[in-house]
Structure 1
Amino acid sequence: MTDASTFRWGDHDGVLFDLDGVITPTAEIHEHAWGELFAAYDYTEADYLRYIDGRPRYDGVRSFLASRGVELPDGHLDDAPGDDTVSALGNRKNALFNEILERDGIAPYPGSQATLDLLAARGIPSAIVSSSKNAVPVLEAAGLSHRFDVIVDGVVAADLGLNGKPAPDGYLLGAQRLGVDPARTVVVEDATSGVAAGRAGAFAVTIGVDRGAGHDTLLAHGATFVVDDLDELLEG
């Protein structure tokens, strides 16, 4: 059984990365935006991890509201940012996120940057598979848009009607577009829904990166093994 001590990047044909919380600390920006959005509901960090992290934006809105016993109509995707529909709340959250990103910028985790350098040096292709519709601007802000051969984000998922994580649809499409067999491909995730998607897609290895979800929780949801940061695997 693969674990962190036996894992080697070179044993695999491709790597599929989640973005938020894996490559960049955008989870912090997302969480700040979600916190502002749901301030009236006594929102906590635990709420983000339990109901929102890794899910498509509108699913995150529905999941959180359900936890508070609140039901709203879905509305329309082009609803103006507001609080009277699921779509309006989701669009308001997106506006808050973009305001924070533009104001504060973003930098990749050093261990993740070093991992991308290692993969590039070894000619191992990589992709981003993210539920976020902001993946491209985040990568541009971090100076990483050129580092990935394939990007499957929330925009692609919406265009193709893909199911969000924990369904494996996005990761399977990422592997297909990367031209690699899932059975020889690594998934790297920090969210419970993401590691569950890796397991559901029968990928060779699903690495959990613990940014707050907890080792045991990530393992229980499908991680093959868990690290605190990708710098632990740089010798692999």
Structure 2
Amino acid sequence: MPDTAVEWDRYDAVLFDLDGVVTPTAEVHMHAWEAMFTAFLTERSAHDGTVYPPYTERDYFEYVDGKPRYDGVRAVLASRGITLPEGSPDDPPTAETVMGLGNRKNEAFTTILETDGVVAYPGSVTLIEELHRRGKKLAVVSSSRNAPAVIAAAGLTGDFDFVMHGGLAAELHLPGKPAPDTFGHAAEELGATNERSVVLEDAINGVAAGRAGHFGLVIGVDRGAGADALRGAGADVVVGDLAELVAGSRG
């Protein structure tokens, strides 16, 4: 049996991460994070005279990818030895607080999304259609508060039975990835157990969440994190495109 063959009949629910799995918005997030932190670190250096390491793509994968937004801010700041007040979710993007910086990044993301729009990966749409044909329940499980807007922009609102996003997770007091709680809640909402659910993730933190929750199958989607890293975090299968799961599926 090829590595990408999935016996879908063994599972009741399929839980998709959004950015980088269903839509190519991970790239938009990467650009928004880079723009925000590059400007912030430059301003900070000018203010206190410290030369901080520039923000790079490696920072995204190591500190930000797959995490709730404010957790990502805290992690990058900690890597530079910078401490800021927490602030409030209502802080303006100009505020030099953890949440102000997170809101500054979100403002950049929203602007790019509104200007450029988003189109789902064709291979992901192919898999979603195949899973509908098989009668599976589908959910999006994203750390981003923007998930509903991204799904709507991609024209996929009617394709998912449940959407777990960062705002809802905060309301429910569920810890974000790499904790498995958001995936577990989504499975429960779909009437499935963890053992009868599949997790699809492109982020190391997301794959780790799937493994920690003992889900029936954890599939890594390599959009840049690296196949070895995804397997090391607990992925049972790694693909480069979700269409591979249709071509290799059986059952």
Q: Does structure 2 conserve the Cα–Cα contact (< 8 Å) formed by 1:166 and 1:197? A: yes
Distance (Å, rounded) in 2 between the aligned partners of 1:4 and 1:20 = 24
Q: Does structure 2 conserve the Cα–Cα contact (< 8 Å) formed by 1:168 and 1:198? A: yes
Distance (Å, rounded) in 1 between the aligned partners of 2:88 and 2:2 = 45
Q: Does structure 2 conserve the Cα–Cα contact (< 8 Å) formed by 1:3 and 1:225? A: no
Distance (Å, rounded) in 1 between the aligned partners of 2:146 and 2:214 = 27
Q: Does structure 2 conserve the Cα–Cα contact (< 8 Å) formed by 1:165 and 1:194? A: yes
**CA displacement at 1:9 relative to structure 2:** 2.5
Are 2:92 and 1:80 equivalent residues in the alignment? Answer: yes
Distance (Å, rounded) in 2 between the aligned partners of 1:56 and 1:130 = 9
Q: Where does residue 220 of structure 1 map in the other structure?
A: 232
Q: Where does residue 49 of structure 1 map in the other structure?
A: 61
Q: Does structure 1 conserve the Cα–Cα contact (< 8 Å) formed by 2:4 and 2:239? A: no
Q: Where does residue 113 of structure 2 map in the other structure?
A: 101
User: Mean Cα displacement is larger for which, 197-206 or 217-226?
Assistant: 217-226
Shift in alpha-carbon separation, 1:160–1:181, aligned structure 2, 3 A? same
Q: Does structure 2 conserve the Cα–Cα contact (< 8 Å) formed by 1:3 and 1:224? A: no
Q: Where does residue 14 of structure 1 map in the other structure?
A: 13
Shift in alpha-carbon separation, 1:5–1:160, aligned structure 2, 3 A? closer
Q: Where does residue 48 of structure 2 map in the other structure?
A: none
Are 2:74 and 1:62 equivalent residues in the alignment? Answer: yes
Are 2:174 and 1:148 equivalent residues in the alignment? Answer: no
Structure 1 unaligned regions, length at least 5: none
Distance (Å, rounded) in 2 between the aligned partners of 1:9 and 1:194 = 21
**CA displacement at 1:83 relative to structure 2:** 4.8
Distance (Å, rounded) in 2 between the aligned partners of 1:82 and 1:164 = 25
SS at match of 1:123: coil
Are 2:49 and 1:37 equivalent residues in the alignment? Answer: no
Paired AA for residue 118 in structure 1: E
Q: Does structure 1 conserve the Cα–Cα contact (< 8 Å) formed by 2:179 and 2:212? A: yes
SS at match of 2:235: coil
Are 2:174 and 1:172 equivalent residues in the alignment? Answer: no
User: Mean Cα displacement is larger for which, 186-195 or 76-85?
Assistant: 76-85
Q: Where does residue 44 of structure 2 map in the other structure?
A: none
**CA displacement at 1:15 relative to structure 2:** 0.2
Q: Where does residue 25 of structure 1 map in the other structure?
A: 24
SS at match of 1:146: helix
SS at match of 2:14: strand
Paired AA for residue 54 in structure 1: G
Structure 2 unaligned regions, length at least 5: 42-53
Aligned residue pairs total: 235
Paired AA for residue 87 in structure 1: M
**CA displacement at 1:189 relative to structure 2:** 0.2
| TM-score normalised by L of structure 1 | 0.97
Q: Where does residue 206 of structure 1 map in the other structure?
A: 218
**CA displacement at 1:29 relative to structure 2:** 0.6
Which of 1 and 2 has greater Rg? 2
Q: Does structure 2 conserve the Cα–Cα contact (< 8 Å) formed by 1:135 and 1:153? A: yes
**CA displacement at 1:4 relative to structure 2:** 2.6
SS at match of 1:155: helix
